[in-house]
């Protein structure tokens, strides 16, 4: 085989089992389709059963698991169900997240805690549950979906979300420090501005889009497919010597 062919093959996920949380819509659904397209058997986890079933119907061999990642019992059941069906778990895309913009002086401490519960504490819980199995196997790749708001401040009033995503980046590095010698890689994907359910209102607002175009060096928000390569890189053997890193896909937003 040629070197170029070998390089392309390293992005393949044939024979791998991948769990995607928050898979019922938006980036999570896209991530599931991309991993499936690369050959992975995908386990779809989210709270909305109807959407999970519909997505599973599109992806041959995909298994939907209704799961509230903020609940410990649900997290354990997700991993147990995956292992019962497939006997292994090789990739985790820790994507589930919530957030509602609100000025810091008005956001309640209770709401701040709710956002951290899902975006950071639950993400740790899923990584821990999956990581235990990966450590037994001696291999695995965890991709924590953070955000550029976890890397830099912005004019978006989003204190709880920013704190949770910054914490997720720190967690990524700490898990790397603990697990790298035992075969488990942990990286973070930090998207810039992409249209999702959470950002739908922003994308429908002309002033907001003009602000993104003005602030992003590339002059525009991202298109969904522009995360595909970054995700596959971090999930696959293409990044076999990469761990503890934050890959920003943001049109240059964090560079200036």
Active-site residue numbers? 161
The answer to whether the beta carbons of residues 254 and 148 sit under 8 Å apart is yes
Q: What is the DSSP code string of 149-162?
A: GGTS--SS-BHHHH
The length of the chain in residues reads 256
What is the rounded distance in angstroms from the CA atom of residue 175 to the CA atom of residue 172?
Answer: 5
* φ and ψ at residue 113, rounded to 5 degrees: -65, -40
DSSP string, 111-142: HHHHHHIIIIIHHHHHHHHHHHHHHHHT-EEE
């Amino acid at each position: 085989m040629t070197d170029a062919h070998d390089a392309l093959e390293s992005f393949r996920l044939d024979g791998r089992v991948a769990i995607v949380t928050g898979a019922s819509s938006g980036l999570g659904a896209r991530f599931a389709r991309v991993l499936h397209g690369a050959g992975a058997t995908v386990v779809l986890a989210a709270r909305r059963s109807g959407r999970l079933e519909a997505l599973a119907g599109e992806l041959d061999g995909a298994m939907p698991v209704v799961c509230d990642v903020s609940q410990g019992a649900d997290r354990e059941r997700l991993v147990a169900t995956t292992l019962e069906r497939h006997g292994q778990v090789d990739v985790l895309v820790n994507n589930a997240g919530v957030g509602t913009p609100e000025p810091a002086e008005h956001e309640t401490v209770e709401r701040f805690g709710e956002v951290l519960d899902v975006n950071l504490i639950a993400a740790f819980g899923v990584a821990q549950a999956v990581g235990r199995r990966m450590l037994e196997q001696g291999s695995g790749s965890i991709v924590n979906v953070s955000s550029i708001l976890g890397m830099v401040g912005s004019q978006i009033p989003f204190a709880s979300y920013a704190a949770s995503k910054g914490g997720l980046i720190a967690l990524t590095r700490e898990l790397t420090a603990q697990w790298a010698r035992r075969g488990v890689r942990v990286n973070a994907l930090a998207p810039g501005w992409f249209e999702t359910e959470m950002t739908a209102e922003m994308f429908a607002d002309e002033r907001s889009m003009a602000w993104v175009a003005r602030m992003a060096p590339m002059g525009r928000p991202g298109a969904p497919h522009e995360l595909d390569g970054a995700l596959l890189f971090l999930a696959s053997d293409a990044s076999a010597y990469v761990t503890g890193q934050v890959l920003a896909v943001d049109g240059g937003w964090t560079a200036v």
